Amino acid sequence: MRVLGIDCGTERTGYGIIESDGRDHRLLSCGVIRTDPRTPLNQRLLKIGEGLRRMIHEHQPESAAVESVFYAVNARSALSLAHARGVALYTIAEAGIPLGEYSALEVKTSVVGYGRAEKRQVQYMVRSLLQLPEIIASEDASDAVAVAICHATHTARAFAEAVR
């Protein structure tokens, strides 16, 4: 199964595309869609949507996953994140791709085995699970790959339970 994972943000939206059977994962692509914080928000959201459309068109994922909304101390940050997340959800729906949503706790538990893991621990486990020669330098891209791994693992587990 080919999975697109997205780590939403208005300045940096991470993406990761993996091929997975639910146990073994292979990285196809990852990176960050960057926007300039001085650019009007509507133009930044447009750039994020265009970048995600390009990834979907290029890699043809069978499913996608994003982190669910979390409660932030800073309301302005939470609102910006919600805008970027809305663009990601819209772009996925527009492409007709099934969507999975996971809390940060679920993603970290699935990838690291500990729901309160630090970002660096997530980067190291993503490297280990994908058997990469080095960690993915961008935390945003690494987090997006972690979301994709979490989705692939949960999807395979749900399928196995349904077959029983």
Give catalytic residues, as residue numbers.
7, 67, 140
Query: How far is the C-alpha of 103 from the C-alpha of 76, rounded, in Å?
Result: 20
Q: Are 129 and 149 in contact (CB under 8 A)?
A: yes
Closest residue by Cα to residue 145 from 32, 12, 9, 10: 32
Q: Are 48 and 87 in contact (CB under 8 A)?
A: yes
Q: Which amino acid, 36?
A: D
Positive or negative CA dihedral for 129, 133, 139, 144? Answer: negative
HSE toward the beta carbon, residue 162, CA cutoff 13 A: 6
Number of Cβ within 10 Å of residue 127's Cβ equals: 17
Whose structure tokens read 């499913």? Answer: 63
